[in-house]
Chains A and B, each alone.
Chain A
């Protein structure tokens, strides 16, 4: 019996390790490929370059010549950081309203908010485009920041709601007796306890906005405003077929911020997913 258990456990480990290699190999290969010549990228399978070629990062960084990856990276941050901040503010406020107040139609409105989780965003893309165009918001980052400010992604609101519900009501009540109004209670009492949840919202929204492609493709037109995703795609289009290592190098640049964030904050990803996924 014991032997069988040991056997099944070792099979499990072998499977897990093999899978880990398969999953991660492409990413590691990508790093190696940034230092390979073209012949080596397609001629060999190994990860480490035999005749390392340096300079792919430097050459690739120049981008189109007129606009390089410094511009694209700065643009990405200009797009992502306000979006993240607005998402935190709006999702905290709305979740607080839903989880700590009782008002007419609350249940209905909450269900409505939850149901928008299942509303396919692609259905809204045409009318929203027309709407933003009429407002003169095209070719700016407003199509990203304004929806964030208006809590349009219910995922985050729901995540905060779940978290607020886990905090004991006695906290609010004792503060109320001390004469605090509801906003002070939120800011002074509840928010300090929500750090983990707020951090989850931040990391998710950062990664999603950073990776967003379809919407930036539609809303952002001038190259000077391109975030990294569009810049990379542009480099791929105009880059001659001979600069594969440069494209690999810039792909690494493009995924580096989310990967670094993930490594630092992985605990929050796990918690965030676990809190929203359950209780459905």
Chain B
């Protein structure tokens, strides 16, 4: 009897109570109620009216939905790998015995704390204007830059650059991971006559693979929900070429107050994100290596 009492200490519930309340009231209940709303016609005024799958059918029939979904997937597939590759390369360079590593680390991380802000989006708008500074610099080296934000081909890329610019936090994770690779592995490989590139493929990359997975999943979740840069820089234009899913959701929910329809949209996005992340996790068994300590 006494033993069991010692084993369990119910005071723990008291400490985690805030989270339990928060989880139930602000996460679980909203999640379920949005599923319910997604089957209703609800315009903020009046009560939700059950309409079955009509909202979903409406979305799947809407060209705007498909356009936005395509744009969002393109955005994710461009920005996320680019950002992670960048973060990895810079982390590798920094992990050499570089003097002033703190200085570079700080500098590269700075954009990560600013990236989501309106101010940066405003700045981007100026930098990439047709007669803006980016094109000015390009013309110096004899390149006529495109109308970055005015052309449907380039606008999404330009907006995506805001995200890539914030590679700092992924870079810090890679740096921490690189520090954890035991030096002895490299020494042993050197004795076996392995060259730098071979060491990278056989030691560095496998050791970092759990961090690659973590970065990939978290960045993907974030990228699917991107809102601020597209909203401020291009308002989704030109020709809806930067009309990210978040913008469509915002328009439907908070401009037109179609709460039922936008709930359906948000559940579709949820399922898509889930599909992407679980595919990534599923594939990870073949490429992620966990050290023998775990």
Contact = CB atoms under 8 A, between A and B. Distances in A.
Interface of A: 9, 12-13, 15-16, 19-20, 23-24, 26-27, 29-30, 33, 41-42, 44-45, 90, 93-94, 96-98, 100-104, 106, 109, 112-113, 116, 118-131, 133, 146-147, 149-152, 157, 182, 207-208, 210-214, 217-218, 229-230, 232-233, 236, 244, 247-248, 251-252, 254-255, 258-259, 262, 266, 269-270, 273-274, 277-278, 280
B27 A119 contact: yes
Nearest to A154: B19
5 contacts: A45-B137, A130-B44, A232-B119, A252-B119, A274-B176
B224 A103 contact: no
Given A102-B8, A130-B259, 7 more contacts: A15-B93, A90-B18, A103-B12, A149-B18, A236-B122, A278-B177, A278-B211
Contact of B126 (A33, A208, A210, A211): A33
Nearest to B35: A127
B84 interface: no
Contact of A41 (B26, B94, B126, B225): B126
B18 A113 contact: no
B116 A151 contact: no
Nearest to A235: B122
A254 B18 contact: no
A30 B266 CA distance: 36
A152 B116 contact: no
Contacts, number: 255
B210 interface: yes
Interface in B1-30: 7-16, 18-23, 25-27, 29-30
Given A26-B127, A90-B18, A102 B9 contact: yes
B75 interface: no
B117 interface: yes
B256 to A, nearest CB: 12
A280 B288 CA distance: 12
Contacts of A152: 22-23, 26-27
B269 interface: yes
3 shortest interchain CB distances as A-B pairs: A101-B12, A150-B22, A97-B15
Interface string B267-292: 10110010001000000000000000
A102 B114 contact: no
Q: Which of A27, A133, A211, A217 has the most CB of B within 10 A?
A: A211
Contacts of B267: 123
Contacts of A126: 34, 37, 249, 253, 259, 262-263, 266
Q: Which of A214, A230, A248 has the most CB of B within 10 A?
A: A214
Contacts of B113: 207, 211, 258-259, 262, 269
Contacts of A109: 16, 20
A133 B136 CA distance: 48
B133 A151 contact: no
Interface in B222-281: 224-225, 227-228, 231-232, 246, 249-250, 253-254, 259, 262-263, 266-267, 269-270, 273, 277
A19 to B, nearest CB: 7
A271 B217 CA distance: 21
Contacts of B277: 118
A98 B16 contact: yes
Contact of A273 (B31, B165, B172, B210): B172
Interface of B: 7-16, 18-23, 25-27, 29-31, 33-34, 37, 44, 90, 93-94, 96, 98, 104-111, 113-114, 116-120, 122-124, 126-127, 129, 131-133, 136-137, 140, 165, 169, 172-173, 176-177, 180, 210-211, 214, 217-218, 221, 224-225, 227-228, 231-232, 246, 249-250, 253-254, 259, 262-263, 266-267, 269-270, 273, 277
Contacts of A182: 9, 11, 15
Contacts of A13: 98
A270 B105 contact: yes
Nearest to A149: B18
B21 A26 contact: no
A14 to B, nearest CB: 11
A93 B13 CA distance: 10
Contacts of B165: 23
A117 to B, nearest CB: 8
Contacts of B250: 214, 217-218
B126 A248 contact: yes
A32 B191 CA distance: 54
A127 B118 CA distance: 25
A213 B118 contact: yes
B30 A214 contact: no
Nearest to B211: A277
